Structure 1
Amino acid sequence: MGNTHPGATSPLGMVSACAYSGAYPTGYGLYMKNTEGQPEEMFDRLQASGFTHFQQSGTGAIRKYYNYVRVTPMVQQLDVLGQAWPLHDETAEAGYYAATLDTGIRCEVTVGAKVAVHRYAFPEHRSARIVVDLSCGGLAIDLGRTVPLRAHVESLGNGRAQGTVVVEGVPLSVYIKVDSPGWRQMLWHDRRLIEGGTRLDFDRIRQTTLRPFGLLYMGPTTAGQSVEIQIGFSLRGCEQARENLYRECGDGAPAFDAVLARTKARWRDHVGRVEVEGGSPARRQVFATAVYHSLIKPCFADDESPFWPSSGPFVFDICTMWDIYKTQLPLLMAICPDRAVDLLESLIRVCEEEGNFPIGYRMARGADRFFRQASALVHTALADVHALGLGDLDWTWALVHMYDDLRRMYGEDFYEHGVVHPISHTLDLAYACHCTSGVARSLNDVQLADDLEARSRLWAGAFDPDTGLLVDSSFYEGGKWNYSFRLLHDMAARIAMVGGNEAFVSTLDAFFGYGAPRVAQPGKRPDPAEMAAGYLLNRFEGLNNEPDMEAPWSYHYAARPDRTAEIVHAALTWQFGTGRGGLPGNDDSGGLSSWYVWASLGLFPVAGQNLFLVNAPAFSRATLHLGDRDFVIETRGHRETSISSDGLEENPPPQYVQSAQLDGKPLDAAHLRATDVHAGGRLVLELGPHPSEWGRKILPPSVSDPSGKGART
């Protein structure tokens, strides 16, 4: 499963809203916590105890699952709050989610940038209720609950209320508006109504002392009567939450349709920045869904930082850079460049405030660094933005933080010893030195650039020259085979280390299983021995782990773009579908979906190197709308192929690039500069059913072979 959810979202917005079951991993769905093998079901039906806000998208064991401010429409007494009812007639569209509870209540939710609007159509009842639970957070699994530390709730009368809950050091404030004349408005605590009370204050809450609390709206309904509840959110207090609400919802009521229309328009605009022609209906649906998933996270909450007082971009749910820096951030740089720059400005501010660039950053106090995953990944994105000339970042300021960050965490040992374990961090830090060196040289800091360039060559110490693989070490979610085929800044030297192209391709072929039997997939609750046996196969895992996303493109550097074409074609054909479970692994905040977008276009960004690799696309024509410029990818001889969701009986063969032209001039290399793509233009690819010599004579640039015309053996 991809660990996504069907709830209402806004493009790169702050807020989401979805039905809440309490199941892993987003709060929606059926499953218990699972990181290996097939997931076990927590429930035997789709169900919900209400509708919550702020969900992760595509992540796994992220340790923070939000699901704050649960809103529950009821016709029962308050003491059954938390009971879950079956869901029927679900509908999910961009910016909209709806379902009918077993109680007969039709529930609809939509969101804006910083607001959520719920609309509930009740059956006839003398005492219908809308209950807001401000104590809700996390999942209904072991160690999955999130408990607020402090809270206050205030009933303002006339359907208005406000409150703040401090969760993991962040003050999440709400301003609530319900326009339903004749309904009563009350506070409640521990599932008991507080008659006449106007305020609840909790100075210190512990897991052992938490009792649920919140607001209740209650009154009679006629059959089909709709009641709307509007919620404004802020990380800077109730007054700003109120301003956010009225800015997006206005003074009147209802606002549901207007908010939904604006959010749908934003989604049409964002998803429309990548257009494709051709393809089967299933392939087009998967592609559009992939673009959509690529634009849900990170969450941009401009002027909302609770940690510094100034205005400007604040971004959370960067979960994590390890997931998104190779594929999703290059996509944002292409179609949402202003947001990509805002993201980096926010991360520079985090580094300034907290002392280092985070690997992951959530809505929580402190940079949740996810330090075991990787080191110094922000440097890669900064190098790309600098090469592309995007935005107006203060690069002298940025360089100071890039350089300082290289010596923190694992970087301290890297600077002292030239190698660090886990060994993949050696590759990260050497690559970050390469990226930072380029920025330093452009700013005429030659001494720093030379020093960093020398350190960037220390990647070689991570490899065993006898095997051509990484040395033995510990690895995050994988083994040395997974991590051994990264796209380094000196692939020419890395390939020469193993004896040249033929030896490198032979090792890659073994990794991808050419000529090997099928691998049996693990079932439910696989035991450690079964998983260990699987890892010992040293095989490609199928795009469900970050290092595997770039491995197919390593063939380009060994003069075998035909192999890349075969593997990417197989992945696009068999590993993605239109139904539930249509992703081959965690979507990882859109990192996997962004891979699908790039692969379908026949491009792959080599993050940090101002470089795209070129491959046979899945569509006959595609257009990237890059602001006021377009980059068009056209094909000749394209053959339409189906995907597994179309009901394939046989494996359709791949297509291979025979020749290429860029803006009317022959392109003999299987790569482009990213600056050329961003400048707009027209790439025409001649396709055929058999491998050709195209892309074999001029290889992608490496530090030791910048022309790509060095030794080929």
Structure 2
Amino acid sequence: MGNTHPGATSPFGMVSACAYSGAYPTGYGRYAKNTEGVPEDMFGRMQASGFTHFQQSGTGAIRKYYNYVRVTPMVQPLDDLGQSWALEDERAEAGYYAANLATGIRSEVTVGEKVAVHRYTFPDHHSARLVIDLSCGGLAIDLGRTVPLRAQIESMGHGRAQGTVVMEGVPLSVYVEVDSPGWRQMLWYDRRLIPGGTRLDFDSIRHTTLRPFGMLFMGAARAGQTIEVRLGFSLRGCDQARRNLERECGAGQSAFETVRARTRSRWRDHLGRVQVEGGTDARRTVMATALYHSLIKPCIAEDESPNWPDPGPYAFDVCTMWDIYKTQIPLLSAIVPDRAGDVLESLIRVCEEEGNFPIGYRMARGADRFFRQASALAHTALADVHALRRPGIDWSWALVHMVDDLRRLYGEDFWEHGVVHPITHTLDLSYAHHCTAQVARALNDHRLADDLERRSRDWINAFDPATGLLRDSEFYEGGKWNYSFRLLHDMAGRIRMAGGDTAFTAMLDRFFGYGAEPVKQPGRCPDPIEMTAGYALNRFEGLNNEPDMEVPWAYHYAGRPDRTAEIVNSGLTWQFGTGPGGLPGNDDSGGLSSWYVWASLGLFPVAGQNLFLVNAPAFARASLQVEGGEFVIETSGHRDSPIGVDGIDRDPPPQYVQSATLNGRPLHATHLNAADVHHGGRLHLRLGPEPSTWGQRIRPPSLSDPHPKERR
């Protein structure tokens, strides 16, 4: 259900590699396309027709499924290319994937940042083959195929070849080295060899004219003989692909173990930046897995933009900001700030080149794709980074783009009328105006800041004061209940409009189902009537539903952090696990896994407000390696709780914060300034089995109450 894959990846690396069956949505696996309920089987077994490169991670119907440059080891004739064989004895580690094909070939792949290295161990055979298919792309589902528009392939002899395929407007180049002494080397087209051919050119290709094409290496194999395939990739031509290969693999030498060890070391460094103590083995496994999934995307390729010539980072597979801006971007900003900076620098450049900050950005032009999901989300991440005074961004120039972007697409109507439909974009745009105002004020443009702040107060136009909920409108993957409790920049005003703390808490309780009968979860291929009835309950849909991810912490603003503790404990316990179903829906490029990391640490970032909310953690002690050193969350009175997704009937009660100190000083509020975390320090939480008065009197800051005093 998480829609992840076990293939080889590098932290934020440009390249990934995995066994390819054509299944939804990563190319790996056996499931057909699904958006609701449990997926149907597409295949009756785990199988593969080869090993492809560039996979999504945790997405749904993203319409950009990659799986380019399929490498297939064979002992069958070329006519059998595309046939799938059963996968056996699969093994996966960070940066490494291996499996046996039913043909008797042991297959291993590893990746660097811009390279992939394959190693195949053949059985004894008089005519073994290594086939590289440059026409492959996408999935074996309706509308899932990707067809190259143009292509060039060149066989250079001595185990070397190169080629470029233009996929959805982007030129992907690959430089190939194959260590197969004595084997013949040929090009092929439409499953027919081209003896003596050294070059293929295709000026225009359509779905109706596409015939597979690529390169082939063929010869006799001894039992146990290994063939190594080294592939360097670039979006700026074959020469740069070759340089990328030489830089990471060296020239003309075995590189598999070198690349594997380097990537493993890179993963150790990144995963080591969050450490936890205590908890059950299962909780620690889920935590490590969640952190791993949080650090795969976006892909960050230095000096690789195909859309502008200048050096610098090029970030793609931002799939999408709607999925990652609340949880994953703040996590990257905390533990890998240089990578977060690269993403934001790239987004600014996209806005400069294409006119919009993207909601989603893939390995293709199109900053306006996914604009129906939300508006102006990059502003939240930019405001947070600016508040931390991070170097590397020209903030005067960034502010120009932030302001201009506010007036594009849905922003034009918001600018004129103070409200726009879909109504959720009113919340997005008012919030983005608030975030941009903070940057403008810090840059001493007070006139601009005042105007932006005035417009940011138009969030109230999105709500019906008679109900305290959003006005009727269209909603993207949710309803007005899901979107009505997001963490706005004026939660104090939001709660007053709902009728005060008690009324707002009652609305949240209804949303989360306090006192209500349990709901039935949809199974395989749920009936539309069943799904409609479920949505009509206006209940919390799950942590994989982006509008719902931050809602448990809305209780903090009403003085009920005990409710947050109950909801978060339930989510951590029942919605995550180590086996099938261990993720409660799409991982969405690491957005869901990042939620798990933060929730387990007892912190939640309020994106765009330079703020963290505090809750009872799932571990006795945790530490984050941050820019200022180490931030430690330690507890007293912590009790380990098992996870319940394995079906065992257990219901561990939550723990509640009784008191807190920050760097030895009492902390009576339920929030921290982000600088307190990023600069390093020590948060101590005393936990207990019953709710306490901690956090009830001092609320997190809001636009209409920026310096809340203790309430009595």
* Interval of TM-score (by shorter of Structure 1 and Structure 2): over 0.9
Cα offsets for 1:149-187 (capped at 9, x unmatched): 000000000000000000000000000001111011110
What is the deviation of 1:708? 2.4
The aligned counterpart of 1:537 is 537
Cα offsets for 1:448-500 (capped at 9, x unmatched): 00000000000000001111110000000010010001000000000000110
What is the deviation of 1:116? 0.2
Distance in 1 between residues matched to 2:231 and 2:439, nearest whole Å: 44
Letter in 2 for 1:161: A
Give the 5 Å matches for 1:8-407: 8-407=8-407
Distance in 2 between residues matched to 1:491 and 1:317, nearest whole Å: 32
Distance in 1 between residues matched to 2:622 and 2:523, nearest whole Å: 39
The aligned counterpart of 2:546 is 546
What is the deviation of 1:55? 0.3
The aligned counterpart of 1:593 is 593
Letter in 2 for 1:286: V
Contact 1:438 1:449 in 2 (8 A): yes
The aligned counterpart of 2:631 is 631
1:430 corresponds to 2:415: no
Distance in 1 between residues matched to 2:561 and 2:403, nearest whole Å: 36
Distance in 2 between residues matched to 1:179 and 1:558, nearest whole Å: 65
Contact 2:188 2:213 in 1 (8 A): yes
Letter in 2 for 1:74: M
Distance in 2 between residues matched to 1:499 and 1:711, nearest whole Å: 17
Contact 2:627 2:678 in 1 (8 A): no
Corresponding residue SS for 2:98: strand
The aligned counterpart of 1:575 is 575
The aligned counterpart of 1:694 is 694
Distance in 2 between residues matched to 1:15 and 1:661, nearest whole Å: 44
Distance in 2 between residues matched to 1:19 and 1:580, nearest whole Å: 19
1:416 corresponds to 2:401: no
What is the deviation of 1:523? 2.2
Q: Aligned residues: percent identity?
A: 77
Contact 1:232 1:244 in 2 (8 A): yes
What is the deviation of 1:362? 0.2
Contact 2:301 2:313 in 1 (8 A): yes
What is the deviation of 1:217? 0.7
The aligned counterpart of 1:680 is 680
What is the deviation of 1:368? 4.8
Q: Which ranges of structure 1 fall in alignment gaps of 5 or more residues? A: none
Letter in 2 for 1:463: F
Distance in 1 between residues matched to 2:648 and 2:632, nearest whole Å: 30
Distance in 2 between residues matched to 1:58 and 1:259, nearest whole Å: 25
What is the deviation of 1:391? 2.5
What is the deviation of 1:223? 1.0
Corresponding residue SS for 1:306: coil
Letter in 1 for 2:201: D
Distance in 2 between residues matched to 1:694 and 1:600, nearest whole Å: 20
Cα offsets for 1:51-79 (capped at 9, x unmatched): 00000000001001000000001000000
Letter in 2 for 1:464: D
Contact 1:65 1:137 in 2 (8 A): yes
Contact 2:644 2:651 in 1 (8 A): no
Contact 2:22 2:140 in 1 (8 A): yes
Contact 1:297 1:317 in 2 (8 A): yes
Question: What do you get for the CA RMSD once the two structures are aligned?
Answer: 1.0
Contact 2:697 2:711 in 1 (8 A): no
Distance in 2 between residues matched to 1:674 and 1:235, nearest whole Å: 37
Distance in 2 between residues matched to 1:580 and 1:390, nearest whole Å: 41
Cα offsets for 1:173-203 (capped at 9, x unmatched): 0000011110111100000111010000000
What is the deviation of 1:252? 3.6
1:615 corresponds to 2:588: no
Letter in 2 for 1:122: F
Contact 2:152 2:164 in 1 (8 A): yes
Please, which moves more after superposition, 526-535 or 473-482?
526-535
Cα offsets for 1:79-127 (capped at 9, x unmatched): 0100010101110110000010110111000000000000001111111
Letter in 2 for 1:4: T
Distance in 2 between residues matched to 1:372 and 1:88, nearest whole Å: 42
Distance in 1 between residues matched to 2:383 and 2:580, nearest whole Å: 37
What is the deviation of 1:342? 1.0
Distance in 2 between residues matched to 1:580 and 1:183, nearest whole Å: 43
1:604 corresponds to 2:607: no
Corresponding residue SS for 1:193: strand
Letter in 2 for 1:285: T
The aligned counterpart of 1:525 is 525
How many residue pairs end up in the alignment?
A: 712
Cα offsets for 1:473-532 (capped at 9, x unmatched): 000001001000100000000000011010001010000001111111122222322211
What is the deviation of 1:710? 7.3
Corresponding residue SS for 1:123: coil
The aligned counterpart of 2:489 is 489
Contact 2:31 2:39 in 1 (8 A): yes
Distance in 1 between residues matched to 2:504 and 2:282, nearest whole Å: 36
Distance in 2 between residues matched to 1:410 and 1:90, nearest whole Å: 48
Corresponding residue SS for 2:177: strand
Contact 1:362 1:368 in 2 (8 A): no
Corresponding residue SS for 2:313: coil
Contact 2:602 2:618 in 1 (8 A): yes
What is the deviation of 1:225? 1.1
Distance in 1 between residues matched to 2:185 and 2:636, nearest whole Å: 66
Letter in 2 for 1:680: G
TM-score, normalisation: structure 2: 0.99
What is the deviation of 1:547? 0.8
Distance in 2 between residues matched to 1:280 and 1:528, nearest whole Å: 39
What is the deviation of 1:647? 6.1
What is the deviation of 1:130? 0.8
Corresponding residue SS for 2:366: coil
Distance in 2 between residues matched to 1:224 and 1:537, nearest whole Å: 60
Distance in 1 between residues matched to 2:688 and 2:400, nearest whole Å: 50
The aligned counterpart of 2:644 is 644
What is the deviation of 1:582? 1.1
Corresponding residue SS for 2:345: helix
Distance in 1 between residues matched to 2:367 and 2:383, nearest whole Å: 22
Distance in 1 between residues matched to 2:588 and 2:4, nearest whole Å: 9
What is the deviation of 1:707? 2.0
Contact 1:300 1:314 in 2 (8 A): yes
Corresponding residue SS for 2:302: coil
What is the deviation of 1:293? 0.2
Distance in 1 between residues matched to 2:91 and 2:627, nearest whole Å: 32
What is the deviation of 1:544? 1.8
Distance in 2 between residues matched to 1:176 and 1:344, nearest whole Å: 32
Distance in 2 between residues matched to 1:561 and 1:68, nearest whole Å: 48
What is the deviation of 1:628? 5.0
Contact 1:634 1:684 in 2 (8 A): yes
Corresponding residue SS for 2:182: coil
Distance in 2 between residues matched to 1:498 and 1:298, nearest whole Å: 38
What is the deviation of 1:36? 1.2
Distance in 1 between residues matched to 2:107 and 2:581, nearest whole Å: 24
Distance in 1 between residues matched to 2:453 and 2:201, nearest whole Å: 57
Contact 2:627 2:680 in 1 (8 A): no
Contact 1:338 1:391 in 2 (8 A): no
Please, which moves more after superposition, 525-534 or 399-408?
525-534
What is the deviation of 1:272? 0.4
